[in-house]
Chains A and B, each alone.
Chain A
Amino acid sequence: MNSLKKPQKKKVLLMGKSGSGKSSMRSIIFSNYVAKDVRRLGATIDVEHSTVKFLGSLILNLWDCGGQDAFTETYLTSQKSQTFSDVGVLIYVFDVESRSFEGSNPRDLLTYTAVISALAEYSPSAHVFALVHKIDLVQNVFRDSVIQDRTLAIQEYSGVFSKKLKVYGTTIWDQSLYKAWGDIVKSLVPNLHIIDGYLHDLAEETSAEEIILFERATFLTVTNVTSELGERNPYSDRQERLSNVIKTFKHSLSKYTHSSTASHPFSEIAIKAPRFNLILARLTNNTYVLVILPPGDLEIELSRFNIMAAKDRFVELDIMGWAAGDTERLEGKLNGRIKDGR
């Protein structure tokens, strides 16, 4: 059974011009910073290599690549193979305010394109995410059109990745950051369809309108199951909004209790509202589950019971480094209930 515990390492390159916001977003998502702290600390937070754990055993090797020209130069020459081989994901950050994005000398895009061709050479199967960052500096009404314009320009310079490429407008000041990083991390989680299957089971047992699985440390969404009724929810950005607001709460909890946030901050949040019931509960060592139920006292008690009962099943899912046979074994347990995996 030891093979089960084998962690999976994924290399994640975080690149972009100096000052574009790489370290800021990394410290908000993976360390316990909130946006206003990052603002105060300014550009001083600057660690280059870091290893973060996601879901306990998925290890992300984050290469926060200093964006100054001299460094960029070395990545593309002497350290090229070392930098660009075995990459799972490239995240490229564009500062929305940068003066050298377009025009006669689009330096940002030219550097990006050089990075892209190095990636194509050494890690052609990598995923590429481009973040048009600091979008808060653009007034609300113009945001969509700015993002659209930038997307087209970036695509043009993305070479063989232009089809696979995903572009997001982000800012540390709202949930857009959680949207982008949620999708990034999802692209790295193996066997997502198995987790989905387990969640579907739980959804049926609890007659939930929606179930969302959050990763404990980051509170990014791992996956979700939504009923037909839940699909009619008009708030399409709800998952990232929840990530954002719960993460902030977690921050103030750790301040209040003087404890490190690496541990479990709480065991359950329950809300009984006139139109819904909500339980956000610790599910496994590495996950929290959010369950949305119809209103009523009975529903909430029943579901609490069902979540308790489901815990044991989910524990196995904390182990992400399955050997080949494990996948089949776990799939088997789902009684063919697996929906098409994303």
Chain B
Amino acid sequence: MQHKQDKQLVKQLLKGQTQAFNTFFDSYHSKLFRFILGRVDGDHDLAMDLAQETLCKALDNLKDYRAEAALFTWMCQIARSFIYAHFSKQKRRRRHVVPMAEHPSIRKVLLTIADGQETQPELQLHNQQIQQLIEEVLDHLPNNYGDLLTWKYIDELSVAEMAERANTTMVAIQSALARARQSFQQAFTALLKTDSLDHFYPSNWEYEYE
């Protein structure tokens, strides 16, 4: 699968276009920050440092990007190598951890949601972990669907406001929103069916302090 928009952005970056750099940074820095944050025990400063290193490394190696995966997925691979290197340097012992979706308590919550039997207290019990999970799913959705869903569910924008922000029509926004929600449903359903988060967490590991 070719990612034409990503490829186009990379081409512009290689030509040195500043506008492309702004798009690149604004699109991916926050996403990378969140991706890393979930893997460094919520250390914000470390997540910022590693996100910066990841972006620099990605920019240095743009020629190697072949658009076989989404640009963000490609950068996540780079981020993982930095995280691994960081913890290796800190002499932290690696341990294979159970991904959040496979964690018994989280999984139970997710299954009750899927069965339509969820209760508000159960959701709130694991609010932080679930929030992180949802954010990561959103960040991996294609075509800026994550932004659309964020506008709708977090910023609580109206369709008209979203249309204005995206510089498009209300009909187009409604249509895009429907596709975004469907995409999210599919991603989450796949998450529950596979019994693992490999789709979203290709490397199922974290680190703990010695």
Do chains A and B stick together as partners?
no
Mark A residues whose CB is within 8 Å of B: none
